[in-house]
Each structure stands twice: as C-alpha cells, then as structure tokens.
C-alpha cells in the first residue's frame, strides 16, 4: 500500500507542482459494467449514467472486448488477459482534444450474483489501475469487486492521451478457491473525446461479457490478502455537474457513515450508514437529497465517519449544473 501512495503523490506533484499531493487516485463510479440480471440482482447501469446520452453499444464505430480470458479456470490460479477498447475517431471527426480511454470490469459468480475471485494490481504501466469493493446501504452489489482505470491512465503508462484505438488494458484475475461454477466477466469501456464534458460530449460507451467455468481437478492456491487504512479520497470531478465520484477505505470494522451536508450543517443525503469491514469502497452523489429532490447549486460537504477517527474526514465540493 505504501508504494502505491508514494507513487500517487509523485504523480500529483508532477501535475500540480508544489501543490498538495493526492494520496490516492480517482477512478470511475462503481457498478457501471452493464452486467446482466444474476441471481435476482438487477442489471447494473453503465457509464452512460454520467456520460453521453447516446445508448450503450449503439455506435458501430467502436467496441469493447475481453480477449484471452480462460474458458476453464483452476481454483486459486491467476489469469492474465486484456480488455480491448476501440473507436474509429476518423469516421466521425477527430476531437480537438486528446482522446481518452477508460474501463471497469468485474467477475460475478452466476449462482449468487456476488464477486468471484479477486483482481491483482500489476506492475507499471498497468499499475495505474485500482481495485474497488462496492458497497452502500442502498446497493444490491455490495459484494462485488471492480478493477478500473484511474485518472493517471490518461497521462502515463501504456494508455496515453490522443492514441488511436484499439487500446489494451492488461488485467490479472485470481480465480476463487473451490468450485464456484460459472463466472461471468462483465466489462464497460469509455471512448471519450477528452473535452472534460459529460452529457452530450461525444463520448462513446461499450459493454461486453465473457464466461468461464471451474476445473476442480487441480490444486487450490491461497487467496491474496491486503491491509487497509481509513482514508477518504478527494471527490472527482469538483465542481460537479451530474455525478460526484466518492472513494474511501475503511481500516477497522464497525459502523460507517458517509453523508452530504449543506453550508448550514444540515444533512442533505445519506449515502452509507451501516457496518463495514476493512476494505476499499466506492459510492457517488447525483446532486439529489434523500427525498430525490435536486439540490440547488452551491457548496456542500461530504463527510466520512468511521471507527478509529477522532473526527470525520470531510471534503468541500461545489454543485454547478
């Protein structure tokens, strides 16, 4: 964990000179892979929630593919494969901005709708990705794990600004211990035109899925473990226009509250209010209060209360629709 924090801090200094270095990078909101209905859990939304109003997979000039995933998995083994994202910008006119690429993938056990196995963060250039654990008091996907790009994929590593497709994100999946039956890889890709505008910006969203089945005849390897420290990343984007991405870690099990407050200290929206285990988590705020009413433009505070904190962790954000 320490090497990741140091790397993120160095990258932030390269962006902002001597300004405050970010301790963590920021990825897209979770539960955006477009995964199908599984074990009674509803289908996931996709990246069009915060991006283009164009329907997912509707533009024939691009695609998202999972290449090299195993047809059969050995419990406990690690598998290396690719998420390939492509869009033919020349067919629609190249953006005056450097184009950007992003992805999010999860592995789901078909029998229960929860995550199967886990994801390993790779060495550079593929280390500019992050593994997230999704949970929320309102979420039905709280036991799913996601691997996704971070904002640094846009600037460093193999996926630099302005490259034409196809773009390959290399991923590593560790199969679950024992026979988990059918596992579905669900993935979403974003071919963005780089203008930093979401709705109506000309971004293009694609989803895909592949399946794998257990081969239980061989040995099982032990699971990968990770330690966590309570922390709250800087929300992104800020100012927000539609969706505010919120990522945090919990280092000690216990009751956790993540809520939005106005300048008068009044609670506007409760995003998480439940007991959480040590892990990484993600959520988002869509600018509405608990009653579903759109809040007025202005300044708000996002506060995280968790075991071990002497006072809540707080970030100031601006709603500017």
Which pLDDT score, from 0 to 100, does residue 48 have? 82
Segment-wise mean pLDDT, segments of 10 residues, the chain, 321 residues: 38 34 55 89 84 85 93 90 88 72 92 90 66 67 84 42 74 87 94 69 89 70 66 88 84 93 94 87 87 92 94 94 81
Which pLDDT score, from 0 to 100, does residue 216 have? 60
Which pLDDT score, from 0 to 100, does residue 203 have? 85
Q: Is the pTM of this model over 0.85?
A: no
Q: Which domains does the chain have, with CATH numbers?
A: 30-214 (2.60.40.680), 231-319 (2.60.40.4070)
- The length of the chain is 321
């Amino acid at each position: 964990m320490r090497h990741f924090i140091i790397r993120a801090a160095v990258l932030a200094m390269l962006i902002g000179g001597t300004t405050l270095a970010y301790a963590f990078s920021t990825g897209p909101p979770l539960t955006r892979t477009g995964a199908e209905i599984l074990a009674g859990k509803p289908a996931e939304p996709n990246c069009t929630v915060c991006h283009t109003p164009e329907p997912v997979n509707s533009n024939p000039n691009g695609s998202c593919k999972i290449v090299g995933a195993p047809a059969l998995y050995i419990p406990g083994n690690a598998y290396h494969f690719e998420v390939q994202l492509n869009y033919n910008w020349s067919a629609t006119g190249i953006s005056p901005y450097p184009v950007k690429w992003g992805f999010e993938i999860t592995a789901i056990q078909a029998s229960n709708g929860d995550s199967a196995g886990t994801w390993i963060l790779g060495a550079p250039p593929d280390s500019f990705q992050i593994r997230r654990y999704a949970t929320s008091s309102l979420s039905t996907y709280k036991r799913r794990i996601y691997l996704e790009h971070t904002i640094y994929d846009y600037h460093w590593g193999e996926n630099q600004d302005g490259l034409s497709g196809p773009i390959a994100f290399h991923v590593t999946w560790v199969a679950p211990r024992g026979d988990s039956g059918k596992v579905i890889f669900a993935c979403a890709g974003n071919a963005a035109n780089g203008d930093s505008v979401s709705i109506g910006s000309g971004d293009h969203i694609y989803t895909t899925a592949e399946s794998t089945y257990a081969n239980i005849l061989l040995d099982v390897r032990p699971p990968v473990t990770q330690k966590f420290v309570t922390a709250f990343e800087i929300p992104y984007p800020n100012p927000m226009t539609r969706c505010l991405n919120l990522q945090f870690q919990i280092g000690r099990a216990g009751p956790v509250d993540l809520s939005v407050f106005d300048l008068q200290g009044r609670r506007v929206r409760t995003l998480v209010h439940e007991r959480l285990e040590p892990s990484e988590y993600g959520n988002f705020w869509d600018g509405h209060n608990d009653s579903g009413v759109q809040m007025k433009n202005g300044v708000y505070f996002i506060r995280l209360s968790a075991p071990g904190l002497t006072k809540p962790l707080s970030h100031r954000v601006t709603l500017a629709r």
